[in-house]
Chains A and B, each alone.
Chain A
């Protein structure tokens, strides 16, 4: 069964606009962590943001924020004020508490920022 779902294969956003990338996850482990990564065409995986399952507040890192809705098992990434350099693949991922360092990735969303 797919543990991480990203339903938007590709998205376009106008420069300086905000964009939301969707992610839903499935786990029965009460302790887990959720990650978002950016992968430009160079192939480098860049960590963006982390949300723990017990965190009460939504995580924020600069222009990135994570809209965590635990009951809905949703962890959407919000990028504010999009920049041309934000064009890349974005991956949602999860680490279950019982899995040590193993992280499960979603299929990714390709984001293109239009000038």
Chain B
């Protein structure tokens, strides 16, 4: 079964600070996607990386950025935090199995609280 790990699991920051979240897909998996989940906006796509290149981006301000390393680990960074950035941040990988059956596995998420 595919696995995705995310660190840290919980984080408390204050407005104006910056934060870096980490996501590690299973070895050899080259793409990683990030999502933000809030009660008001639901689940929204942030961005996607494939082989260290961003190939898709959601509708978020430039304060949200990311990168992917050669070992497929990905980080997302949020600068100048706002109260509205409080959310569950989820990382995911997509796999394609027999017959084109797709699965998207999510990590446990990082819960960010901005005070």
A: which residues have CB within 8 A of B? 33, 35, 37, 43-47, 50, 52, 91, 93, 95, 99-108
Contact = CB atoms under 8 A, between A and B. Distances in A.
A106 to B, nearest CB: 8
Contact of B104 (A35, A43, A106): A35
Contact of A101 (B43, B48, B90, B101): B48
Given A43-B109, A93-B43, A106-B42, 11 more contacts: A43-B88, A46-B106, A47-B105, A50-B102, A52-B100, A95-B104, A99-B56, A101-B31, A101-B93, A102-B56, A103-B104
Contacts of A105: 35, 42-44
A44 B102 contact: no
Contacts of A47: 103-106
A106 B92 CA distance: 17
A35 B103 CA distance: 8
Contacts of B93: 101
A50 B97 CA distance: 11
Contact of A50 (B33, B45, B101): B101
Interface of B: 31, 33, 35, 42-45, 48, 50, 55-56, 58, 88, 90, 92-94, 100-106, 108-109, 111
B88 A102 contact: no
B102 A52 contact: yes
B106 A103 contact: no
A68 to B, nearest CB: 14
B57 to A, nearest CB: 9
Given A99-B56, A100-B56, A43 B101 contact: no
Contacts of A99: 56
B109 to A, nearest CB: 5
Contact of B33 (A37, A46, A101): A101
Contacts of B108: 43-44
Contacts of B94: 95, 101, 103
Nearest to A47: B103
Contacts of B58: 102
A50 B103 contact: yes
